[in-house]
Structure 1
């Protein structure tokens, strides 16, 4: 085994023998998820409004922002926050928990033969994304319903009073199947997106450790933020059109659905906006990628260092 491999295998991950490792991973994931929500929510509602808008409704990102503030007030940027605050904490804990478990599994499998490969990092991320997709799909559906309901800052009675109201109405009109509408594209997005996401971050961390011959805990916070931001770019550049398809399905009229599946959603996007429609809302998504994922990875890494 090379000196570089020994360094990373020895210092990269906490001991497998730690009986509380899974609990620690999940706890750090929850902390990073909370950080992610507060940074991402204004970007996310802007993205969703653009993705679900009718042709000509908004002319740009600035137009969305100005209309939100004018018609619904500044707090509109945090519509539907309760759902992701609870749900994304759980989602991110699954993502990081499964990813860390898979990394330790590959470490054990590789033994003294060498480092975890980039392909294995991608597989770790895919596993974490697939596991998370089953939880992310209904959570995002509820959040999107809240984010896309419009009104003049309380002048009109909202269709949904909160997450439970959304769940009740969706279930009443279509049962569990309607609540999980968009599960297919969510699983695809999460699997390939998280594969690119975690592979990019871990690849950069490994490179830093090997080149500088330092421990993971010695990597500066600003570099963790940089690596997290680049991981966010990698994710969205990999799967963004899939996210548009998912959002289109989840903003379909739930009382009289017009879209049965991803093929129907794709046809609707093409009909309304052409191929450009698959990149509606891309600007706020890519703008948020750096700060949101910088905060996510920084919170996770610092929590891991603190907990041990």
Structure 2
């Protein structure tokens, strides 16, 4: 609530929508990559002679983790731009494209596409693994019959989204700090150094700051994601 009041006082209603354009564009690209990879891998594993006899849950989990791995290479630059747009105190970047091109010119493609990649992989692989795996299991379970057919993707998608965030939220905190840096600060922003600094500043609780809001957002976001898929 304190953060909400602070943003409202300093920036007004528009402050809550800072970076929303980059997030919408980025999420469209990321979800397209993750969902298509997951669907392709399920089909591949089901017909491959080495894996076609695997239990259904194992097939779902392997496909889901691969989706997270592939999507990480898209997520990294997309979220770098989104983080910088949301965190800017002045109008340093005129638009998402201006931010993208500015970082590309200043730091080169290597930094744009790899800064935070390690943390992103550590987040996306288990997160998408839980996300698609749990949703697939729930949709194939007897629980589907307990709710109207149209509501099942919404409810189970929301639950899967919340579950996917719980174990990896601390990694997301670290990743966000790493990506919210310019070229001069990058040398001091490794995963380990950021983790140590977070712990020194706030203990274990610092890694879960804002989790309640993230879970609420995750339920709504992923309910509509699967509901429209």
Q: TM-score, normalised by structure 1?
A: 0.68
Q: Which of 102, 106, 110 is matched with 1:177 structurally?
A: 110
Runs of 4+ off more than 6 Å: none
Q: Deviations over 1:153-202 (max 9, x none)?
A: xxxx5122121222233233322233231011101211110000001000
* Alpha-carbon shift at residue 242 of structure 1 (Å): 0.9
Alignment deviations for residues 216-244 of structure 1 (CA, whole Å, 9 cap, x no partner): xx961212111011101210012111111
CA RMSD in angstroms, aligned pairs only: 2.3
Structure with larger Rg: 1
Q: 1:193 aligns with which of 120, 124, 127?
A: 127
> 2: distance between equivalents of 1:105 and 1:80?
37
Counterpart contact for 2:174–2:195, Cα < 8 Å = yes
What pairs with 1:159-238 in structure 2 (closer than 5 Å)? 159-180=92-113, 181-208=115-142, 220-238=149-167
Q: Structure 2 regions of 5+ residues with no counterpart?
A: none
Q: In structure 1, which of residues 263, 270, 273 is the aligned counterpart of residue 202 of structure 2?
A: 273
Q: Please name the residue that 2:27 is paired with.
A: 88
Q: Following the alignment from structure 1 to structure 2, what is the Cα–Cα distance between the partners of residues 220 and 73? A: 40
Whether the 8 Å CA contact 1:185–1:245 is kept in 2: the answer is yes
1:39-79 per-position Cα deviation (integer Å, ceiling 9, x unaligned): xxxxxxxxxxxxxxxxxxxxxxx111122122112122221
Contact 2:103 2:112 in 1 (8 A): yes
Unpaired runs of 5+ in structure 1? 1-61, 151-156, 213-217, 301-308
Is the 2:46–2:59 contact (alpha carbons within 8 Å) kept by the matching residues of 1? no
Deviation at 1:253, TM superposition (A): 4.4
Structure 2 partner of 1:18? none
Quote the residue 2:178 is aligned against.
Answer: 249
Q: CA separation in 2, counterparts of 1:241 and 1:163?
A: 26
From the superposition, tell whether residues 241 and 140 of structure 1 become closer, same or farther in structure 2 (CA, over 3 Å).
same
What TM-score do the two structures reach when normalised by structure 2? Answer: 0.89
